[in-house]
Amino acid sequence: MSGLLTEPTAEILAFMARSHRLFIDGIWVDPGSDRLIEVENPATEETIAQLHAASLADLDRAVAAARAALDGPWGRMPPAMRAKLLYRLADLMEAAALDLGQLSTLENGMPLWMSMDKLAAFCPELVRYYAGWCTKIAGDTLSAVPIRGESDDWLVYTLRQPIGVVGAIIPWNAPASMITLKAAPALAAGCTMVLKPAEMTPLLAIRFTELIEEAGFPAGVFNLVQGYGDDIGDGIARHPGIDKVAFTGSTAVGKAIVRAAADDLKRVSLELGGKSPVIVCADADLDVAAPSAAAACFFLSGQNCMAGTRLFVEESIAEEFEERLVAAAKTFVVGDGFAPGTMIGPLISAKQLARVKSFIDEADNAGARRVFGGNIPDQKGHFVAPAVFADVTPDMRLAQEEVFGPVLAVQRFRQDNEGELLARVNGTTYGLSGSVWTRDISRALRLAKHVDSGQVGVNAHAAVSPETPFGGNKQSGWGREFGREGLDAYLKTKAVSVNLGPHL
C-alpha cells in the first residue's frame, strides 16, 4: 500500500471540475436535458462534479449512430483489426490506471489500493481476454441432410453474428469492472454499444470513453449517455433501435427492464443481486476460513453482488468461529479511500446508509445477537463499521434480503443433517455465488454440487477470472458474463442450408 497517493492529483481535480459531455457518434456533445447530475464523494459528502443528463433525443441519436456503425466500417472490419483496437484499449487503460483508480475512489469511495490493484489491473486483462476471442468466433459445418428431398447433397453451416446494437445499463458499485465487463465482450463480438453509467458514478465512464476515442474505434461504435434510470435507463429498455439490453443492478430494476423490453421482445441479460452463502465445516482451516469469510462479506463495504452475507458454521466450532470473525472484522479499517490503511470505504450514499442502518436496527429488534460493529461514526461521510450478527434465523429479513452493506448474518448447522443445511442455504430467492470451506473432498464437492447458485468456491469465495463464467440462478439473473459464455451473449446463430443439387 506504500507509494499510493494520499490525495487526488491536480490533474484529476481539473478533470472533475470541467464541463462534461456525452459521447455520440464519435463526438463529444452537450447533453440535451436540464436535469442536473451532482456527483458526490461519499467519504466527504462534497460535490465533486456536476453535469447535465442526456435527453431522450440524445439517446435516439446515440442509437442511430450505433446502428450506422454496425452497417458501416465497424460491421465490415476484419476481426483481427477489432482485436487490435481492443488490445490498444487495454494498453491505454493500463497507462491511465492512476486516473481511473482515482476517479473510482472519488465517486464510489472504495480504497485507492483496491481501485488500483484489483480493478485497474484486472480490467485491462479482461479486455485482452476478449480481444483474443475476436479471431476465434466461428460457426460449425454440419453433416445435416434437410428432410425436403429436393436433393441428396447439402452443405449446412452456421454463422455466428453480432446481435447488433447493445444498450448497457450499469450500477455504481464497481465502476471500472462494470464498464469493462459490458464493453469488452460486446465489442469483441462485433456489436456496437450505447452505455448508461449509474447516475452516482458517471466520471470513470467519461475517462474510459476518452480511451475508447484515443484507441481509434470508428465513430458510433461506443456511445456514452450519462443520465437517470427513470428516463435514459427506461428509454434504453424500450428503444426499438436496440437489439439487446445488458443490465447489471438490482433485482427490482431488472424486472422493470424485462417488462419494458417485452414490447419488442429484445434480448435481455441480467446480473442482479445476491444473498450468497458461505458454509464453514468444523474441519476447515479456520486460520484461512475466518479472515476469508469476513472479506467475502465486507469487501467493497458489502456493496458487492457476490458478497458472502449468510455464513453457515458447524455447531461444534460456532463459538470459536464467531470470535475469529470478530477478530477479522476488527481488521477492516473503515475510512476515506485516500487514507493510508483504509480497508473499506464509505457506503455510496446517505440513502444507502439509512437502508443498511434499518437492517441493523431490525436485526437487533428481531433478536439476532450483534457480536460486533454496525455503529455509525459521527462524522462526514456515509461510514458504517462492519457488523457481525450471530443467532440469525432463516425467517429474519437479514437472512433473506440483500443488504448491500457490510452486515454478516451467522447461522449454525449440524453435521448430521446436510439436507436441512441445504434447505436453508438454498432458501432464498437469490442464487448468485457461494463457498464451501472444508478439508473433506467428498463433502466439499457434494455441497458445491447442491448449492443453487451460478458459481461456488471451494476454500475460496468469489474466485472471479476472465475465463470463468459468472452469473445468477433464480432471481439473481439471466445469462452469464465472463468467459466464452460472456461472448456468446452478444452473438446470434444463423444456419445456412445449401442445396448442392442432385448427383450427376
Active site residue 271: yes
Nearest approach, Cβ of 144 to ligand NAP (angstroms)?
Answer: 37
Q: 203-215 and 97-108 helices cross at what angle (nearest 10)?
A: 160
Q: Does 196 bind ligand NAP (CB under 6 A)?
A: yes
Q: How far is CA 274 from CA 271, 280, 453, in A?
A: 10, 19, 9
Rounded to the nearest 5 degrees, what angle is found at the Cα of 217, between the Cα atoms of 71 and 65? Answer: 40
The CA distance from 82 to 78, in Å, is 7
Stretch that binds ligand NAP, among 58-66, 165-173, 313-321, 409-417 (CB under 6 A): 165-173
Q: Which of 134, 191, 281, 305 is catalytic?
A: 305
Rounded to the nearest 5 degrees, what angle is found at the Cα of 164, between the Cα atoms of 104 and 229? Answer: 45
Residue with smaller CB distance to ligand NAP, 135 or 349? 349
Q: Does 228 bind ligand NAP (CB under 6 A)?
A: yes
Q: Does 402 bind ligand NAP (CB under 6 A)?
A: yes
325's grid cell: 470473525
Rounded to the nearest 5 degrees, what angle is found at the Cα of 432, between the Cα atoms of 427 and 438? Answer: 75
Q: Does 28 bind ligand NAP (CB under 6 A)?
A: no
Nearest approach, Cβ of 433 to ligand NAP (angstroms)?
Answer: 9
393's grid cell: 434465523
Residue 317's contacts (CB-CB under 8 Å, 6 or more residues apart) are: 280, 282, 286
Of 249, 277, 345, 405, the residue at the interface with ligand NAP (CB under 6 A) is 249
Nearest approach, Cβ of 38 to ligand NAP (angstroms)?
Answer: 12
Q: Which helix (H) or strand (E) holds 208?
A: helix 203-215
Helix (H, G, I), strand (E, B) or coil at 223: strand
Residue with smaller CB distance to ligand NAP, 92 or 224? 224
Of 166, 176, 253, 392, the residue at the interface with ligand NAP (CB under 6 A) is 253
Q: Does 477 bind ligand NAP (CB under 6 A)?
A: yes
Residue with smaller CB distance to ligand NAP, 41 or 173? 173
Stretch that binds ligand NAP, among 99-107, 187-195, 203-211, 223-231 (CB under 6 A): 223-231
The amino acid at residue 39 is: V
Q: Does 266 bind ligand NAP (CB under 6 A)?
A: no
Residue with cell 456489436: 191
Query: What is the radius of gyration, based on Cα positions, of the chain?
Result: 24
Of 169, 179, 188, 246, the residue at the interface with ligand NAP (CB under 6 A) is 169
Q: Does 305 bind ligand NAP (CB under 6 A)?
A: yes
Number of residues that bind ligand NAP (CB under 6 A): 31
Helices (H), 247-386: 251-261, 286-298, 318-330, 350-366
Active site residue 123: no
Stretch that binds ligand NAP, among 42-50, 133-141, 248-256, 408-416 (CB under 6 A): 248-256
Q: Does 198 bind ligand NAP (CB under 6 A)?
A: yes
The CA distance from 431 to 277, in Å, is 9
Q: Does 205 bind ligand NAP (CB under 6 A)?
A: no
Of 65, 188, 205, 272, the residue at the interface with ligand NAP (CB under 6 A) is 272
Q: Does 171 bind ligand NAP (CB under 6 A)?
A: yes
Stretch that binds ligand NAP, among 224-232, 353-361, 390-398, 493-501 (CB under 6 A): 224-232
Residue with smaller CB distance to ligand NAP, 209 or 438? 209
Q: 286-298 and 318-330 helices cross at what angle (nearest 10)?
A: 60
Nearest approach, Cβ of 118 to ligand NAP (angstroms)?
Answer: 14
Helix (H, G, I), strand (E, B) or coil at 103: helix
Of 101, 185, 190, 233, the residue at the interface with ligand NAP (CB under 6 A) is 233
Q: Return the DSSP state at 202.
A: -
Q: Does 109 bind ligand NAP (CB under 6 A)?
A: no
Pairing relationship of beta strands 36-41 and 222-224 according to DSSP bridges = unpaired
Query: Sheet holding 308-314: strands in order across?
Result: 369-372, 387-390, 407-413, 308-314, 276-280, 435-437, 457-458
Of 271, 322, 336, 391, the residue at the interface with ligand NAP (CB under 6 A) is 271
Q: Which residue, 294, 275, 280, 317, is CA-closest to 421?
A: 280
- Judged by the rule CB under 6 A, the positions of this chain that interact with ligand NAP are 169-173, 196, 198-200, 228-230, 233-234, 237, 248-250, 253, 256-257, 271-274, 305, 402, 404, 432, 472, 477
Q: Which residues are catalytic?
A: 271, 305
